[in-house]
Amino acid sequence: MKMQSRKFRIGDLAKRLQVDRFVIRFWEKEFDITPQRSQGGQRFYEEKDFQQFRLIKNLLYTKKFTIAGAKQQLKPNNSKIIASQKTTIHPPDENLIKTMIDLKKQLIRLKKLL
């Protein structure tokens, strides 16, 4: 005998994940997740959906990934971890660093004049 999987609504999913409903709807769009719908258009989620949303929440809230980084991490056959701003893909430009330091010095001088 095949067991029927439990389905629950967006409010139930939001409670289980401890996020607001709008967060679920936003993640659906951003991560291309399509829940099942009733004839009336209500969303219905299964346990596998909960697990996917839980993983997304962990990547975004706990591991501090950006949306783009979380999407990359969720791609199949992805073996590398991409964190948010903490990971630099290219080394910083030396000229940019010097310009920023000069700008900071100028701002400090201006502040002293005020």
pLDDT given for residue 77 in this prediction: 66
55 in a domain, yes or no? yes
pLDDT in tens, 18-30: 999 999 999 999 9
- Side chain identity, residue 72: Q
pLDDT band of residue 101 (cuts 50, 70, 90) is confident
1 in a domain, yes or no? no
Give me the domain span that covers residue 15.
10-113
pLDDT given for residue 6 in this prediction: 79
87 in a domain, yes or no? yes
96 in a domain, yes or no? yes
pLDDT given for residue 114 in this prediction: 82
Beta-sheet strands, E only, within the chain:
36-37, 43-44
Residue 1, pLDDT > 50, answer: no
Letter string b/e over residues 27-39, b meaning 16 or more CB atoms within 10 A of that residue's CB: bbeeeeeebeeee
- The total number of structural domains in the chain stands at 1
pTM reported for the whole predicted model: 0.63
CATH number at residue 29: 1.10.1660.10
Task: Decide: 45 and 35 in contact? Cβ < 8 Å.
Answer: yes
